[in-house]
Structure 1
Amino acid sequence: MNQKTMFFVCIILFGTVVMLSAETALDLDTAVALALEHNLGLNRTRIETAGKKRESDRSWNNLLPSINAGANVRRGTSLTGDLPPGGDEWTPGLSLSASVSLSPAVIATMKKTKTDYEVGIISYEGAKQELELEVRKLFYQLLLIHANVELAEESIASAQARYEEASARSKVGQASNLDELSARVELENLKPDLRSAETQYVNALEGFKQILGLGSDEVVQLEGQLEVIIPGALPEGISETRKQESWTITALRKSLESLEIQRKILWNQAYMPNLQLSWNSAPAYSNDVFADSSGSFSVGIGINLDSFLPGSGQRTKIDAVDDSLKIYRSQIQEALLNQDMRIRQLQRSIGQSIETIEALTLNGELAERTYEMWSESYRRGTADMQQLRAAGDSLLQAKNRVKQEFYNLVAASLDLEKELNIPFGSLWQ
């Protein structure tokens, strides 16, 4: 082997190693971890929550005074006569002032900032849960689509075998040319179905990688199985023993608390007095020194009398908040009822799926035995191609329905775990 050949062989081997090393093996837990770390939507929620934390940590700045400082130069002017001695000179000056307004509304505002941060935390936890649910469902959906690809490949292999057998039988006069042609047509008709299933899988996998924050050119190999172990019927009373309030309901309650604080702020601003402290100084340069003849410090109490008038703007704002509070309480009550109803519906769906899987599994075994019997009959010449094809279609449909029902069971279990607000994967433990 010459040097040029060796060079190209090395390049090929290197490229193969790179391609294999770039392949990412993904099981379900790894996919969830990647999504929680790299998902762009969740990252935006994380940034928003960090901003609310910063505002909460700095809420004490509502107690800081407002401070202003300035510098100026001035020169006297006269419209009627000469300026006094020194009046035509530029005189420098300074100004400094500070003021602060204290009232119960300030303390309530600080508390609301903290509550808003807590709302942000709850929203972030809810977003994490929604993302994990989406990833888990998509993972199993990809397994289902991949299983459909394998079934399509299996169907083509069976059709290829039937065509080859029909062709061989036709050559020795044991089958008609019509059987051979029919088997060829069946085989060719199945190939677009395989291509469609492969395209569906590639498209779904690309969207899945985007959710996980992976590059579209990264090769991903899913590791998992669609068929889950069924321990039996779902335990009765699970909704009472393991149910926790959903993040949606928790967020509504915390938002209600924030709105109640907002009402308190508006009420304090409208009807409570506020203490005002202010200090200012404006020293000016005169006679070779800086002197201040106008500095002052003041303490005052003020109250907004407009709020006591009927139909005032502040009273209208408070009434609007009261309406919003009623709406929030109604939404919480409705969300609680919806959660209980959704749990009952999902429990029934899971029970139905378990029964359906048992029946479909038995049906699949019967369909497989039936297909084997028709294949044997066709080889003996006691069955025609149409009967064999019908048996093959029934077998494929039975396998497909079993896998689809397994996905339905997994999806319903994940939805129930979300409604119960328990860790994913713990329902059957």
Structure 2
Amino acid sequence: MKKILSVLVLYLFSITIISAETVVLDIDKSVELALENNLGLKSSRIDVDIKKRASDLSWNRFIPTVQVSSTMMRWNQEQSGNILMVDPTSSLGFGLYDRVISSSYDLPRWGLSAGLDFSLNLSYALFKEMKGTKLDYEAGLISYEIALKQLQRDVKKNFYNILVFEENLWLMEQNIEAANSRLEQAKINYSNGLVPELSVLSAQVGYENLKPAFSEMKLGYETMLNGFKMLLGIDLDTNISLEGDIVINPIELDTEKLTGYFLGGRLDIKSMNKTVQSLENAKAGLQLQTMTPMLMFGLNFDPAFQNDPLENNWFKDIGDNWSQQSGMFRITLAMSLDSFLPWSKTQVGIKDMEDGITQLKLGIAQANVGAEMEIKTIVMKLNKSMEQLETLILNISLAYEAYRLSQEAYDAGSKELLEVKDAERDLNTAKLEVLKEKYNYITGLLDLEYALNATLEEIKDVSNE
């Protein structure tokens, strides 16, 4: 028993250790997890599956409607029937009679009937309905692609944003350490009578003021990590560590070439064009449905049981015990005439759909202009980031030179250690600013890829043509 308990304890302990392990993620693994686990993307996949099934089975409109029914009834009053028969006393010979008499008989109190109905309506509009399901499926594929591309972009942007935030958090820790060192130095100087008490108080205020800001940053960092985990579709209790660097490869961008080549392939433009196709198909379907004949087929059977269903066998002597009431086969050709009137509800609906299509086409034209402006804005921001990076990289060189000189002066005894730390902090701040601008550039490229619905390699090829 003790051995079993020991094994169980070791098993539970191993589970605890495994659950506490940190999952190391690079950018590719993060995207892979998101594509596999993101709940929003899973929902979009289900939408596509529903639309695909509807498109694949759109032919089921040609399957007849079949309805079967059965009715058990009981009359409230006794029912009887009459039958005419010859009077056997009025025989004239040779099988002839000159009188008939009426004879009554009681009908069963209970009755049983069955019904079987087939119906099928055919019109030219059915083919437009089938095409409509296909267009709806194609629109669903575009919507899914939009969700997919958005998720990939957002995962990458969040990944890089967390890397920058971690650097910022580390720099804040360095600032707090430097503020604490200044406070300790001020206390020593005050004890030695070198500075007034006000200097100590000022240093302490500066140190204490950094603590709430640091706590707020840590809270923001945890919130950012949880949001990233939710985006990846992993448990919020999972410990993760991001592995990667923000490395950029600047490229020359030609706005006119990019807009001319990729504008029509934008996913939002594709979606709007598909909506226009769907509306035009729906309009054609309405015209065919209301302004062309409809052919209707019908077949029904309604046999009734002639004996008492509670006393007689339902399946014995079926030909004698069951009688057809009014079953029939029918073919009907019908057509609406009021639909041809220009002021009819149908014609007004068609006009409304035509106006809606015109409005949507105007919206597409406006979306094209907006998309072109968006692309130009992204390219301008990317060019601006490159210019700022040149300046910020120069600042790193200057900050590094200042740090080097401070270190040399400290080694020579002409500067204090705090001054060296301040110079080092300035150098780290300059590096952080470069990192932030690299983040702006790389996320700008991600936005450009999404805006053009193209890969970075495709963008490079078109710009360099």
TM-score relative to the length of structure 2: 0.78
Name 1:303's counterpart in structure 2.
335
Q: Of 332, 344, 353, which aligns to 1:312?
A: 344
Q: Which moved more, 1:89-98 or 1:149-158?
A: 89-98
1:422 maps to 2:451: no
The Cα offsets for residues 98-129 of structure 1, whole Å up to 9 and x where unpaired, read as 11111001111111112111111111111111
Report the AA paired with residue 302 of structure 1: A
C-alpha change, 1:131 and 1:217, in structure 2 (3 Å) is: same
Name 2:298's counterpart in structure 1.
278
User: Percent identity of the aligned residues?
Assistant: 33
Whether the 8 Å contact between 1:155 and 1:396 is mirrored in structure 2 is no
- TM-fit CA distance, 1:182: 4.5
Name 1:120's counterpart in structure 2.
140
Name 1:46's counterpart in structure 2.
45
C-alpha change, 1:271 and 1:50, in structure 2 (3 Å) is: same
Name 1:101's counterpart in structure 2.
121
Q: Which moved more, 1:120-129 or 1:54-63?
A: 54-63
Q: What secondary structure does 1:220 align onto?
A: strand
CA distance in 1 between partners of 2:332 and 2:138 (Å): 36
C-alpha change, 1:76 and 1:185, in structure 2 (3 Å) is: closer
Q: Which moved more, 1:215-224 or 1:317-326?
A: 317-326
CA distance in 2 between partners of 1:206 and 1:128 (Å): 21
C-alpha change, 1:71 and 1:17, in structure 2 (3 Å) is: closer
C-alpha change, 1:232 and 1:300, in structure 2 (3 Å) is: closer
Q: Which moved more, 1:170-179 or 1:298-307?
A: 170-179
C-alpha change, 1:280 and 1:81, in structure 2 (3 Å) is: closer
Name 2:86's counterpart in structure 1.
none
Report the AA paired with residue 314 of structure 1: T
- TM-fit CA distance, 1:403: 2.2
The Cα offsets for residues 123-150 of structure 1, whole Å up to 9 and x where unpaired, read as 1111111111111111111111111001
Q: Of 319, 339, 343, which aligns to 2:371?
A: 339
Q: Of 248, 251, 268, which aligns to 1:229?
A: 248
The Cα offsets for residues 230-257 of structure 1, whole Å up to 9 and x where unpaired, read as 3454467444456661111111111111
CA distance in 2 between partners of 1:298 and 1:285 (Å): 24
Name 2:17's counterpart in structure 1.
18
Q: Give matches, 1:4-153, under 5 Å.
A: 18=17, 22-72=21-71, 83-84=82-83, 85-89=104-108, 90-153=110-173
Gaps of 5+ in 2: 1-5, 84-103, 307-318
Name 1:4's counterpart in structure 2.
none
Whether the 8 Å contact between 2:123 and 2:292 is mirrored in structure 1 is yes
Name 2:91's counterpart in structure 1.
none
- TM-fit CA distance, 1:37: 1.5
CA distance in 2 between partners of 1:395 and 1:196 (Å): 24
C-alpha change, 1:155 and 1:379, in structure 2 (3 Å) is: farther
The Cα offsets for residues 195-234 of structure 1, whole Å up to 9 and x where unpaired, read as 22222111110111111111111101011123x2334544
- TM-fit CA distance, 1:397: 4.6
Whether the 8 Å contact between 2:80 and 2:105 is mirrored in structure 1 is no
Q: Of 262, 267, 273, which aligns to 1:247?
A: 267
C-alpha change, 1:428 and 1:390, in structure 2 (3 Å) is: farther
Q: Which moved more, 1:356-365 or 1:74-83?
A: 74-83
- TM-fit CA distance, 1:43: 1.6
Task: Please provide the CA RMSD for this pair.
Answer: 3.6
Whether the 8 Å contact between 1:103 and 1:275 is mirrored in structure 2 is yes
Gaps of 5+ in 1: 1-6
- TM-fit CA distance, 1:263: 0.6
Greater C-alpha radius of gyration: 2
CA distance in 1 between partners of 2:37 and 2:14 (Å): 28
- TM-fit CA distance, 1:66: 1.8
